[in-house]
């Protein structure tokens, strides 16, 4: 399946190798080569941290000058929208008009990366809708990039979702996400049993979201800001904040580890179409 590049913001002059931090933005991608990319973050099981993963992706794109938009399907309240209100729309993924707001604008929007935060229990039905309207066929034909970040819980029931999801993503970029943010230990994953399920998703790659200090996580949640805004000691309105230096340090380290993981799976190359 084809993939592509991405939009950008004005970038400051590059630092020397000695000065550049480990989390420095990756090289810019050409706007003229950009193909629409749809990234779905979801699971049928609740409480596995789907929105946390979506927020981590949006922060990573922003830090690498990739302009993205997001759709929050936790209708009507919205969860992702609380942290990224300027780029997020709350939609009802089960309704045709809202499906049109997402899919019909993929080619016309100047923002070429779209992230869908799928509400609990709606992953399979959302994939069925994408298949029904022909999006999966269009992605297979190379008209769009399609990526699925399937967030797994520690139970065998969560592993069972892989078998249900695999038929929809045989040609997609499929990532199985172990999210340790909620103290998940994946204790039920007997190696032999887990391999049986993982073996059914031959095109899948594993992604690990590390544990974040609980107090740091709670403070970002209370602040209602993107991770990077909290680290920059700013409020949601952009005003100076009084966030703890220690907690900001925990979040910064966690962000850097996420960035290393996203680089490992070559996320920007997938978006850019270089893979």
CATH number for the domain spanning 174: value is 3.40.50.300
Q: Is the pLDDT of residue 143 over 50?
A: yes
17 lies in a domain? no
CA distance 212 to 181: 6
pLDDT at 190: 66
CA 101, distance to chain mean position in Å, is: 19
Q: Is pLDDT of 232 > 90?
A: yes
Mean pLDDT of 18-38: 57
Mean of the pLDDT values across residues 210-231?
Answer: 96
Q: Following DSSP, what letter does each residue of 137-196 receive, concatenated? A: HHHHTTSSEEEEEEEE-SSHHHHHHHHHHGGG-TTSEEEEEEEGGG----TT--HHHHHH
What pLDDT, on the 0 to 100 scale, is given for residue 37? 96
What's phi and psi for 83, nearest 5 deg?
-95, -30
Residues 6+ apart with CB under 8 A from 101: 71, 89, 91
Residue 82 has pLDDT above 70, yes or no: yes
Number of domains, the chain: 1
Is the pLDDT confidence value at 58 over 60?
yes
Residue 24 lies in a domain: no
Per-residue confidence (pLDDT) for residue 5, from 0 to 100 = 44
Containing domain of residue 174, as a range?
A: 31-209
Bond into 76 cis (ω within 30): yes
Please check whether residue 149 lies inside any domain of the structure: yes
- Predicted confidence at residue 185, as pLDDT, reads 67
Q: Does position 18 have pLDDT exceeding 50, yes or no? A: no
In a domain, 18, yes or no: no
Q: CA-CA-CA-CA torsion for 38, 104, 88, 11, nearest 10 degrees?
A: 60
pLDDT on residue 62: 96
C-alpha span between 141 and 138 (Å, rounded): 5
**Position 30 pLDDT exceeds 60:** no
| pLDDT confidence bin for 40, thresholds 50/70/90 | very high
Query: Which value, to the nearest 10 degrees, does the dihedral of the CA atoms of residues 157, 162, 163, 166 take?
Result: 160
Summary mean pLDDT of the chain: 85
Confidence of residue 272 (pLDDT cuts 50, 70, 90): confident
- What was the pLDDT predicted at 21? 43
Q: Average the pLDDT over 51-67 and give the result.
A: 96
Give pLDDT, residue 237.
Answer: 94
**What's the token pair of residue 180?**
């340790």
* 243 occurs within a structural domain: no
DSSP 82-132: HH-TTTEEE--TTSHHHHHHHHTTTTTSS--EEEEEPPTT-HHHHHHHHHH
pLDDT for the residue numbered 32: 45
178's CB contacts (< 8 A; 6+ apart) are 152, 184, 186, 206, 207, 208, 209
φ/ψ of 105, rounded to 5, equals -105, 0
- Examine the pLDDT at 35 and tell me if it is beyond 70: yes
Is pLDDT at 16 greater than 50 in this prediction? Answer: no
- For Cα atoms 95, 102, 9, give the angle at the middle one, nearest 5 degrees: 155
Residues with Cβ < 8 Å from 198, sequence gap 6 or more? 162, 176, 204, 206
Whether 82 maps to a domain, the answer reads yes
Sheet holding 173-179, edge to edge: 88-90, 68-72, 113-117, 37-42, 145-152, 173-179, 204-209
**180-204 confidence digits (pLDDT tens):** 886 666 655 667 766 776 666 667 8
Residue 13 included in any domain: no
CA distance 163 to 154: 16
Question: What length is written for the chain?
Answer: 275
255 neighbors 24 (Cβ within 8 angstroms): no
> What are the tens digits of pLDDT across the range 88-135?
999 999 999 999 999 999 999 999 999 999 998 889 999 999 999 999
Position 33 scores a pLDDT of 61
Residue 238, in any domain of the structure: no
Look at 155 and 26; give whichever has higher pLDDT.
155
Name which of 28-37, 71-80, 173-182 the model is least confident about. 28-37
């Amino acid at each position: 399946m084809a993939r592509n590049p991405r939009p950008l913001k004005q970038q400051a002059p590059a630092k020397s190798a000695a000065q550049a931090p480990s989390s420095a933005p990756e090289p810019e991608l050409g706007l003229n080569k950009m193909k629409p990319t749809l990234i779905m973050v979801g699971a049928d099981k609740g409480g596995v941290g789907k929105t946390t993963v979506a927020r981590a992706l949006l922060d990573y794109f922003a830090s690498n000058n990739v302009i993205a938009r997001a759709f929050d399907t936790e209708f009507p309240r919205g969860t992702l929208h609380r942290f990224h209100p300027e780029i997020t729309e709350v939609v009802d993924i089960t309704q045709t008009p809202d499906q049109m707001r997402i899919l019909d604008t993929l080619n016309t929007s100047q923002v070429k990366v779209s992230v869908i935060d799928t509400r609990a229990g709606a992953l399979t039905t959302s994939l069925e809708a994408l298949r029904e309207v022909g999006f999966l066929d269009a992605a297979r034909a190379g008209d769009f990039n399609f990526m699925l970040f399937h967030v797994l819980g520690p139970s065998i029931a969560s592993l069972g979702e892989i078998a249900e999801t695999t038929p929809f993503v045989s040609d997609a970029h499929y990532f199985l996400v172990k999210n340790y943010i909620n103290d998940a230990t994946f204790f039920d994953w007997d190696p032999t049993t887990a391999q049986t399920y993982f073996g059914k998703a031959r095109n899948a790659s594993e992604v690990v979201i590390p544990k974040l200090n609980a107090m740091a996580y709670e403070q970002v949640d209370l602040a209602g800001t993107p991770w990077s805004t909290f680290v920059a000691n700013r409020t949601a309105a952009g005003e100076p904040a009084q966030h703890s230096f220690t907690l900001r340090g925990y979040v910064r380290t966690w962000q850097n580890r996420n960035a290393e993981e996203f680089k490992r799976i070559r996320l920007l190359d997938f978006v850019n179409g270089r893979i």
